[in-house]
Chains A and B, each alone.
Chain A
Amino acid sequence: MSDEFDDLRSLFDDEEDEEGHPAADNLPDTGDVSDEDAPRLDTGELSGRLGQLDWQQSGGDEADAAASSSGLGVTGQLDWQKTSGHEPAFTEDVDDWMQEFAEADELAVPDPQAVWDDMPDWLAGDDSHDQPAEPDVPDWLQPDDEVSDATHPERPDWQEEFHAGAETPPDAEEWLAGIGESAPPDLGTALPDVDSDDFLNLFGTDELEQEDEISEILRDIGLGTPAEPPAEAMEEVDESWFADEEPAETSPELPAWLTEIEDFGPEDAAPDDVALPANEDFFSELENLDDLRAAVPDADEPLQDIDSLLAGYDTVESGIPDTSERLLDLNPDIERLLADDDSFGFAGDEAADDLPEGLVAELPDWLSEMGASVDELSAAALLRQGQKDRPVEELDERLQALHDAGLNLKPDQEEGVSDLFKSLLPGVNEALPPVPIVRAADSGIAGDLILTDAQRSKIDQLEKMVAAGRLPGQAAQGMSAIDRTYDSPFMQNVFDDAEAAGEEEPRPEAPAASRRRVRRIKIDRLLVTLVVAAAVLLPFFVSSLRIGDLPPSAFVASSAANRAFQQVEGLHVGDYVLFAAEYGPTAAAELDSLTDALLRHIIERGARPVIVSGNAVGLAHVNNLIENIGGEQALEANQEYYVTRYLAAGVIGTRAFARNVVNYVSTDMNGQATNLGVSNIGDFALIVVVAERAEEVRAWAEQVVPSASGVPFVAAVSYAAAPMAEPYVLSGSDSALPGLSGMLVGYRDAYTYRAILGAAGRPPQLLPPAATTPPTTMPLVEATPEVTEPAESATPLPPTEIPSATPLPSETPVLPTEMPTLVPTETQTPTPTTTETPLFPATFTPTPSFTPEAAGAGGLPVITGVINTSQGVNVRENAGREFAVVAVLAGRSTVQIIGRNGDESWYKILLEDGTEGWISASLVTVQSPASPTPESAGKRLPAGMRLQAVTPTPEGGAVVPEATEEATAEVMEAATVAAPTVSVGDSAALPVTMAYQDERWYSMTFGIIVIVAVITLGAVVNILRSLLIRRGRS
């Protein structure tokens, strides 16, 4: 290391090399840095003279570390200083030099030449250069303890800024320019490797916008320009040796450490082998500072009077707070920083005007953001309002609460505030320790984020402060800090003065939730609702609003709706129809009309609906529906209609049903056995699906219909499902594919359907049971139930010619225990709901009904009657229900009446095989042979009604008693409602009409019109509003 000092020493020898650089011998012998006796700089004295150059105060690694930790890239010291060990390399010689220099009277009237002459050679350089005529010693070199004191309030800002790690000190340029004017011109040759970097380190920054300018100034310093303006002086500067690429080879005698210094930046660690020689010779040179003084050229006027210059700086607002120094000193004054103190120049505008050009732009972003914004109050300003230095007790309640809550938190660790915290934030004795983050055993997406109990407790604390309930809906726990803030008089007007802030109006202690729950009535929503409601309701009351055409009274011949109607119309008596009611209460309002019409039509045709559903509530609803229909027509459950199963599990249940029909229809929804003789899907004559969604139609088409080859499939869907169900409708040519044979849609088709059903002159005849239907459906009947014209030879019978008979004693009823066998294979045996006489004994074989053609064989007037129900009826051995059943007649069959009982409640009939029996009179419509009328003879029963009685005419015709409860019970054991009496001649009756059906249609029409208008209006308004907003923005 001593060699290095030798190198340095040689650098400052008076001898020059070829380039004019001083020889290394000129370097003072600084001695070994490791020598403990090496002279050290008295930092205190130096500080007092030089105005606390911080980098000199600490020096070495400590200063470097402090500077580095400031984060501003400040090194704080020259590179060579870093290698000097823990203490600055300057020794007392330098101090003496400076002291001597300062005390010299010549300093008051600077003799630049003397200063430069006194300067150590290593600083002064070659003596051969011309000295400026008027050396100018900067005033800062003059002692001014008072001003130079760091704590002096009038200490100029630029002194702070010299130590700052921020951008270029504002007046550095001027200062440097001043020095440059008086600097020896060839000073740079003495230190060929000193460049702007070192100077930057002196000012505590590693980047400089005005680096070029500083470099020029440094050249001035080194070269000692004549007394000329800095710009002119710089022109004469030999820039070559200031260039970064200063070749070390130009001075082969330069010590290696000096050349290497150039290459080091603040971020580089000082190599151990580069150490500044600090021997006595080195520092002895510093004693010749008088030369330095002499060498200082005349400076500009401000520099001649450094005191006035420095005093003038007091009024200049630089706008740059010395935050870096604060941090370097580890004694930040946040309060002062945030205080409304002009010394920091937060006025902004004024500071900006005084700042050198380009300097404002160099303000760090965080600093400029903290400063004043144009015409706005920054967040910092708001914070500072009314929050000057006050003790804790005078803070706002919420801040006090926060403070108290923070004190109450018990940290997990006992260590408390770390030393680093204390050093950075002196005066803060309380701090929340960091909460440890516990890693979870299972790594999820963010498995590291686990809340510990401590975190939970803190969250609870925060929740209490904001008065948040833990559980949803839980009442707020008192007033939160936010609520107190809202209640605080401060928030009434942020700009109020202290007097207003002191006012405290008593406010009721209302929960925050209710106070903030201000319901704003949406007028537009209310208006739209009222308008639409009016549009829907008014047609019911205002006839002028009934606009539009009603649905047609008949389907178009080729339409899917007509095909659906024809499918039902083509049902035979006794056919089973699989009826799937796949809708719930939601769609009941729309689909009930279709369901009702279809069921009535099916029943009217003599077929029997077997109802299933995938919707349990829907099944119950349809059950109620058909019970209402059955109540009107005295239908028997599990005989004339079957409400069987709820198909659980959606499409799986539907598929399971298709594969196992027998089990699914063996019991009804109440658990009662149905005794349906259906073995598979193919046994049904028609499949009808009433669905609110197209998915149900699809499920049935895909899961059930393929198993039922040849069985027609008809759907009735809601209006919304129609578009997606339409593709399943088959055309006539591809009827072999599974699909819809017909489809009915919504209320429109329901209206037409019911109109058709109620129309007069509909085809009256019922189709006989289809030949292809299994024999289990109905007993074999040869005679047609239709009776068109009575025999012309028939003569009217006297009204009371029917002989009476004596009822026979009753017999013990026998309950069927198993499904009986009818001709040819099975017998329909409904399960009786009571223990009374069964309708069909187990071993009974139905008897063909009477044919009218054979009646006239005996010459007696033939009285014929027609069974007026589609259900089979009992023929008993005597007049009374307590008698055994001897035969069962098919519904709608013709019988020959040969007698009656006393009260004419029973008729005696003659069966085809000659057997006589008794049948309830109410179940027979007597065909009067004297006055057959087209209306009465063989008239097809109007749908929904069953004629129970015929009003006898004076011209003739049998008197048939009205239906009695007992007679009704012959067919319907459980029926208790007597069927109403309707005249046969009343063909204008439309029992299938719905209440307000026309008004409903008009209401829908008018409602759609109004809805279209509302939507259009909304669209137009929103578009215009958007256009206006855009125009306003542009």
Chain B
Amino acid sequence: MDSTTQGLTILIILFTMVTSVIVTQFIRRRRDLFLLREIPAYTALPMMVGQTIEANRPAHVSWGSAGLGGANTLLTLASAELFYQVAERASIGAAPPILTVSDPTALPLGQDTLRRAYRSRGLLNQYRGSSVRWYPSGPRSLAFAAALTAALGDDHVGMNVFVGSFGAELALVAEAAVRHDQPVIAASDQLEGQAVALAMSDHWLIGEEIFTAGAYLEGTPAQVASLVTQDVLRFLVILVILIPTALAVIETIRGG
């Protein structure tokens, strides 16, 4: 990296740190000042989990090809947070929640998340590591999609949450869910998967909404603070884009 990029990188990281800490403290004192807009997927999710429990069916969450160590490491962690929220609610049901992953690095994370969910409910004795399943493999793996298609039917899943890294193969899985009359919440960091999620799911999340699961479903000050910090950074980026663009346009107009 050139020195400018290096400097900007460090600056952004430091700014994010400071903002996150300050906003967290502020929110702890004045939580009511920060109102979150409604995201229909998060509004519907607890109800879907409840219906799934009542129907004595397992809840299914899938991270796709999201895994640790790659560019979507933090996306994987965000998806893990969402899975935790689902699993914590669904753990009281008779059928344990199911997590499917395509990247083997996500397997230990998924098992750990599920164990935390059961522990929070005091039901650690009901935790089963086999609820987290790996199907091969890799980005945009159609073998993974085919395996999910079969699993939706075999396991009589009650609801589906496809949040992670999916490509166009999400279409196969979503169609299978529709065939089995299973509600779907979908989101992907890949544009092809995002487009499919928008067209074929009941509720969807777009872009950074995947990272807001904790703030909407649990709402601790730290999680809400991260939302606010994101917004601050977003406005900064907008300014950084707009100001030079405006200057360039002005200069162009002046020049000719």
- By a beta-carbon cutoff of 8 Å, the part of chain A in contact with chain B is 440-442, 444-445, 447, 449-451, 459, 463, 468-473, 522, 584-587, 615-617, 649-652, 692-693, 695, 699, 706, 720, 724
Contacts and interface: CB of A to CB of B under 8 A. Distances in A.
A444 B140 CA distance: 36
A720 B168 contact: yes
Nearest to A449: B92
Given A440-B122, A444-B120, A724-B191, A650 B141 contact: no
A650 B169 contact: no
B4 to A, nearest CB: 14
B140 A692 contact: yes
A649 B76 CA distance: 14
A584 B140 contact: yes
B140 A587 contact: yes
A649 B155 contact: no
B95 A471 contact: yes
Given A442-B119, A472-B157, A584-B139, 4 more contacts: A441-B122, A469-B56, A586-B169, A693-B167
A472 B70 contact: no
A652 B169 contact: no
A592 to B, nearest CB: 15
B196 to A, nearest CB: 12
B71 A695 contact: yes
A693 B139 contact: yes
B81 interface: no
10 contacts: A442-B119, A444-B120, A470-B94, A472-B155, A473-B156, A522-B179, A585-B142, A649-B70, A652-B70, A720-B168
Contacts of B167: 586, 693
A472 B168 contact: no
A706 B157 CA distance: 48
B122 A450 contact: yes
Contacts of A459: 94
B138 interface: yes
Given A441-B122, A617-B138, A650 B69 contact: yes
B43 interface: no
Nearest to B136: A617
A440 B139 CA distance: 41
A445 B211 CA distance: 19
Contacts of B154: 473
Given A442-B122, A468-B56, A617-B138, A651 B155 contact: no
A59 to B, nearest CB: 50
Max chain B Cβ within 10 angstroms of own Cβ: one of A522, A695, A706: A695
Given A472-B155, A693-B190, A652 B69 contact: yes
B121 A444 contact: yes
Contact of A584 (B119, B138, B157, B190): B138
A444 B156 CA distance: 29
B202 interface: no
Contacts of B157: 472
Nearest to B217: A445
Given A450-B122, A470-B94, A615 B139 contact: yes
Contacts of A650: 67, 69-71
A445 B92 contact: no
A473 B1 CA distance: 55
A461 to B, nearest CB: 13
A649 B121 contact: no
B203 interface: no
B208 interface: no
B71 A699 contact: yes
Nearest to B142: A586
Nearest to A615: B138
Interface in B118-162: 119-122, 137-142, 154-157
B140 A472 contact: no
Contact of A586 (B119, B141, B155): B141
Given A472-B58, A472-B95, A472-B156, A693 B140 contact: yes
Max chain A Cβ within 10 angstroms of own Cβ: one of B121, B156, B190: B121
Contacts of B138: 584, 615-617
B209 interface: no
Contacts of B56: 463, 468-469
B115 interface: no
A587 B190 CA distance: 16
Listed from nearest, the 8 A-B pairs whose CB atoms lie closest are A650-B70, A444-B120, A649-B69, A440-B122, A472-B155, A651-B71, A586-B140, A468-B56
Nearest to A582: B139
B70 A651 contact: yes
A450 B124 CA distance: 12
B102 to A, nearest CB: 11
Contact of A442 (B67, B70, B120): B120
Contacts of A584: 138-141
Contact of A445 (B88, B141, B155, B192): B88
A462 B119 CA distance: 26
Interface string B65-103: 001011100000000000000001000101100000000
Contacts of B70: 649-652
A587 B139 CA distance: 11
Contacts of B119: 442
Interface string B176-210: 00010000000000111000000000000000000
B94 to A, nearest CB: 6
A650 B58 CA distance: 32
A693 B189 CA distance: 12
A471 B94 CA distance: 7
Nearest to B137: A617
B224 to A, nearest CB: 15
B112 interface: no
Contacts of B71: 650-651, 695, 699
Contacts of A469: 56
A442 B123 CA distance: 11
Contacts of B121: 440, 444, 447, 450
A615 B167 CA distance: 16
A615 B138 CA distance: 7
A586 B58 CA distance: 30
Contacts of A649: 69-70
B106 to A, nearest CB: 13
B155 A463 contact: no
Contacts of A470: 94-95
B218 interface: yes
Nearest to A698: B71
Contacts of B92: 449, 451
Contacts of A472: 57-58, 95, 155-157
A471 B191 CA distance: 37
A449 B137 CA distance: 39
B100 to A, nearest CB: 14
A584 B140 CA distance: 8
A620 to B, nearest CB: 12
A130 to B, nearest CB: 70
B94 A463 contact: yes
Nearest to B190: A693
Contacts of A586: 140-142, 167, 169
A1029 B108 CA distance: 51
Contacts of B156: 472-473
B228 to A, nearest CB: 22
A412 B142 CA distance: 54
Contacts of A617: 137-138
Max chain A Cβ within 10 angstroms of own Cβ: one of B120, B168, B218: B120
Nearest to A617: B138
Contacts of A468: 56, 94
A470 B154 CA distance: 15
B128 to A, nearest CB: 10
Contacts of B190: 693, 695
A442 B140 CA distance: 40
Nearest to A459: B94
Contacts of B140: 584, 586-587, 692-693
Contacts of B120: 442, 444-445, 447
Contacts of A522: 179
